[in-house]
């Protein structure tokens, strides 16, 4: 029995040592290091993991690695991100194809910009738009007065939409047609 307890005690001691080493390498347990916007500059701070959602909502960033500087994290977050939809016909339509390139950018002040560039083959359309898959709600649209095989335009939107597009592109669909309620071609977004 004593021999069994000694082996169990040794195993528990080794597990404790391993968890302590792991915590030392990965930072304090239950904490994360973030880049906090302090006026016109960024400061690295360590916060509770539970506090992260509130910090994220007001624009703080989480570096991609412990060695990434806040300036690099901010530049990466502000850089335009590209998404793409490879369009296919929507029934009863059976012809046409194309792509919609979507570029997202944070502008600051809680705003962002989404640019749509639809290039169509074998058809023309007047509008290109993005919808949320779960609600089928139109989030933004670019419309031309005349039908064309190329439709381009940018819309200023809330930063939250830009974040959602970047992090969850499959939750959105790009479509083209004569109006947002009359899609001719459509496809989900993917990273470009």
3 state DSSP class of 180: coil
Q: What is the pLDDT of residues 91-106, one digit of tens each?
A: 998 999 999 999 998 8
Rounded average pLDDT over 172-177: 95
Bond prior to 92 in cis (omega within 30° of 0): yes
* pLDDT reading at 154 higher than 50: yes
Residue 9 is predicted with a pLDDT of 45
Whether 85 and 122 have beta carbons less than 8 Å apart is answered as no
Share of the chain above pLDDT 90, in %: 47
pLDDT above 70 (res 3): no
Q: What is the pLDDT of residue 27?
A: 59
The residue with tokens 């570029």 is 103
Q: So what's the pLDDT on residue 66?
A: 81
Alpha-carbon distance of 187 to 192, in angstroms, equals 14
Highest mean pLDDT among 51-60, 76-85, 156-165: 156-165
What are the residue ranges spanned by the domains of the chain?
A: 28-77, 81-191
Give the global pTM: 0.66
pLDDT tens profile 104-151: 988 877 889 999 999 999 999 999 999 999 998 999 999 988 999 999
- Considering only CA atoms, which of 111, 44, 107 is closest in space to residue 71? 44
Distance separating alpha carbons of residues 85 and 192, to the nearest angstrom:
9
pLDDT band of 36, cuts 50, 70, 90 = very high
Which of 1-10, 20-29, 157-166 has the highest mean predicted lDDT (pLDDT)?
A: 157-166
Q: Is a pLDDT exceeding 90 seen at residue 57? A: no
| CATH 1.20.1440 fits domain 81-191 | no
Identify the band that residue 76 occupies on the pLDDT scale cut at 50, 70 and 90. Answer: confident
For 38, the token pair is 């302090």
Strands 172-179 and 41-48: unpaired
Q: Which residue has the higher pLDDT, 130 or 10?
A: 130
């Amino acid at each position: 029995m004593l021999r069994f307890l000694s082996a169990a005690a040794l195993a528990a001691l080794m597990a404790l040592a391993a968890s302590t080493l792991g915590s030392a390498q990965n930072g304090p347990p239950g904490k994360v290091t973030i880049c906090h916007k302090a006026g016109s500059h960024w400061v690295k701070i360590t916060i509770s993991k539970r506090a992260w959602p509130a910090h994220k909502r007001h624009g703080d960033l989480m570096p991609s690695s412990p060695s990434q500087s806040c300036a690099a994290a901010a530049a990466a977050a502000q850089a335009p991100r590209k998404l793409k939809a490879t369009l296919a016909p929507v029934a009863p339509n059976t012809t046409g194809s194309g792509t919609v390139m979507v570029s997202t950018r944070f502008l600051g002040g809680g705003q962002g910009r989404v640019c749509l560039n639809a290039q169509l083959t074998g058809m023309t359309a007047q509008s290109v738009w993005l919808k949320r898959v779960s609600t089928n709600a139109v989030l933004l649209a670019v419309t031309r007065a005349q039908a064309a095989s190329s439709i381009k335009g940018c819309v200023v939107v809330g930063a939250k939409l830009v974040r959602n597009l970047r992090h969850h592109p499959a939750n959105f669909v790009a479509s083209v047609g004569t109006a947002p309620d009359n899609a001719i071609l459509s496809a989900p977004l993917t990273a470009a």
